[in-house]
Structure 1
Amino acid sequence: MMPDKMRLRRSVLYVPASNGKALAKLPTLACDAAIIDLEDAVAPQDKISARESLPGLFAERAAGPRELVIRVNPLSGEWGADDLQAALACAPDGILLPKVETPRDILEAGDVLDDNDAADTLRLWAMVETPRALLNIGAIAELGRDPASRLACLVAGTNDLVKETRILATPDRRYLMPWLMQMVLAARAGGLDILDGVSNDFRDAEAFAAECAVAAAMGFDGKTLIHPNQIEPANVAFSPSSEALDEAREIVAAFAVAENVGKGVIALGGRMIERLHLQQAENLLAKAASIGK
């Protein structure tokens, strides 16, 4: 069960399930996906009422391509098992599992989905937010290659990683960078999408845009967000630039010329272009087409 290749996940907004005002505003926002959060964003005394609000939210769900994902509490904790059952009843596009540390955490959640006859389209997302998860990231991501796995997306939990490892949180994230690149590498090996962690200072638009640009250059598919003001910069950063699209069209056109059909390598603009570049160009154009829709 492989993830949808053309799903846009440039901007993924966390919305507390306990915040009725934010939930009501969600249909007007331009984020590619929203994570309805039952975990970190909900106080312990509000956990049950937040869970009970889910059916109403999904009953009024507007039609459209935006993914709605529910983040449950840890399945081993007080609220997790009931959260998972409530999420299943809502038929979201995905369920985000926090504190994932081993492949078993994902497989056991998948078993619950299978036992409850969840639709094949219901995906699992996994937070990577502990040292143990990082140590096991290769084995976790490899589940993306398992036809029976529902795993579609990894999400960097940068705040928790900073807390658990005691590294210094700097504006340039220099001490996080090796782990973030490790996540990207594992995601690509597993055929998964990978989302960068949140930026806590939503008032500094310039710094946020710069962080998004770096994350896009690192290979992330998108970024998780905590405020609607972050949606547009994320969408811009994780969309193909006009220059990149022009180059992609040029590569596709060059390989379509009669004399180049069937060739593995061609010369274009003083460079040697291989068919792997053609595939990259076609993928980029397909992503642009998805954005246009």
Structure 2
Amino acid sequence: MLPQFDAGRPRRSVLYMPGANARALEKARTLDADALILDLEDAVSPDAKDLAREQVVAAVKAGGYGPREVIVRVNGLDTPWGGDDLRAVNGIGADGILVPKVNGPGDVDAAAGLLTNEPIWAMMETPAAMFAAQEIAQHPLMCVLVMGTNDLVKELKAARVPGRAPLLTALQMSLLAARDAACIAIDGVYNDIKNESGFAEECEQGRDFGFDGKTLIHPSQIAPCNDVFAPSAEAVAEARDIIAAFDTPDARGKGVITVAGKMVELLHAEESRRLVAVADAIAAKEAAI
């Protein structure tokens, strides 16, 4: 993973913003999303690609997004716009470049060849990507795997059903690859904006699987997503107790101790340190807004 990539920053809510919409690019500077994907691909019609590229480059260079991570999703290199997109966003100060329809490490190499060591995020949205997930995640410039669940449903000819049973294998394969390579894993979008309970359930499912956050399509999804993917106050307090207990002289050299009547092992201490680090990163981000 690249030295300039901060794996510890919060990525609970990752909001797509259409690059052709100047008002959206400006509004993004005020939203409470952890990360923003300024989109040149699916959210932009073919006749607006050049305008979107110009506006996104100008917006990233202008800055003003505060602690929000700013990512640009380019068009694929197999399109008329992909090469120009990558050349335009190279070196403009984006926190990462999201490459669509990555089918294997060769696609990452092709994108990287037009960039100068920018962190790369990969859309995992095809059957080929699932079979090559480990090789994609292991690429030296790869930092984040993003689930493209809408495209996966289409490619699989699957049904869009609550619980996402047709996608579970793909979600787990990508997550396994990400964790094996120490990459971040972001869950896919939820399309039914007005279905608040359904959205909350899918956020909880992604969190329970182990995803770091979820991609979003509307600002109304930010707050509930942030809530679900943030550790609870009770969990943080328990984690701090476990860390403190293992840091005492009496626990030195021990693999198992008792905390509040429960047996805890060193692996629980490691999990607790990770959880507290996440909570502290969220608090720092919110203080900076």
TM over 0.5: yes
166, 173, 177: which one pairs with 2:168? Answer: 177
Tell me the CA shift for residue 107 of structure 1: 2.0
Q: How many residues of Structure 1 are paired with residues of Structure 2 in the alignment?
A: 282
**TM-score, with length taken from structure 1:** 0.92
Tell me the CA shift for residue 63 of structure 1: 5.4
Shift of the 276–64 alpha-carbon distance from structure 1 to 2, 3 Å rule, reads same
| Percent of pairs with identical residues | 46
Is 1:35 aligned to 2:37, yes or no?
Answer: yes
Letter in 2 for 1:130: T
Q: Which deviates further from its counterpart, 103-112 or 207-216? A: 103-112
Alpha-carbon distance in 2 for matches of 1:20, 1:71: 16
Is 1:100 aligned to 2:96, yes or no?
Answer: no
230, 234, 258: which one pairs with 1:267? Answer: 258
CA contact (8 A) 2:29 2:65 kept: no
CA contact (8 A) 1:54 1:86 kept: no
Is 1:158 aligned to 2:149, yes or no?
Answer: yes
Alpha-carbon distance in 2 for matches of 1:209, 1:33: 19
Is 1:217 aligned to 2:219, yes or no?
Answer: no
Partner in structure 2 of residue 236 of structure 1: 227
CA contact (8 A) 1:100 1:106 kept: yes
39, 56, 59: which one pairs with 1:57? Answer: 59
The residue correspondences of 1:60-71 to structure 2 (distance < 5 A) are 60-62=62-64, 64-71=66-73
Alpha-carbon distance in 2 for matches of 1:34, 1:136: 26
Tell me the CA shift for residue 276 of structure 1: 1.5
Tell me the CA shift for residue 159 of structure 1: 0.2
Alpha-carbon distance in 2 for matches of 1:57, 1:76: 25
Secondary structure of 1:112's counterpart equals coil
Secondary structure of 1:211's counterpart equals helix
The residue correspondences of 1:1-293 to structure 2 (distance < 5 A) are 1-2=1-2, 3-62=5-64, 64-113=66-115, 118=116, 120=117, 122-143=118-139, 149-293=140-284
Q: Which deviates further from its counterpart, 86-95 or 196-205? A: 86-95
* RMSD between superposed Cα atoms in Å: 1.4
Letter in 1 for 2:59: L
Letter in 2 for 1:38: L
Alpha-carbon distance in 2 for matches of 1:204, 1:191: 33
Alpha-carbon distance in 1 for matches of 2:180, 2:61: 37
CA contact (8 A) 1:54 1:90 kept: no
Shift of the 63–129 alpha-carbon distance from structure 1 to 2, 3 Å rule, reads closer
Tell me the CA shift for residue 89 of structure 1: 4.5
Alpha-carbon distance in 1 for matches of 2:254, 2:7: 27
Tell me the CA shift for residue 268 of structure 1: 2.6
Alpha-carbon distance in 1 for matches of 2:208, 2:38: 28
What is the CA deviation profile of residues 225-278 of structure 1, one whole-angstrom value per residue up to 9, with x for unaligned ones?
Answer: 000000011111111111211210111111122211221221234433211211
Letter in 1 for 2:16: Y
Superposed structure 1 runs of 4+ greater than 2 Å apart: 1-5, 267-272
CA contact (8 A) 1:99 1:128 kept: yes
Alpha-carbon distance in 2 for matches of 1:228, 1:254: 41
Letter in 2 for 1:205: E
Partner in structure 2 of residue 146 of structure 1: none
Unaligned runs of 5+ in 2: 285-289
Alpha-carbon distance in 1 for matches of 2:249, 2:235: 24
Alpha-carbon distance in 1 for matches of 2:69, 2:126: 26
Tell me the CA shift for residue 27 of structure 1: 0.9
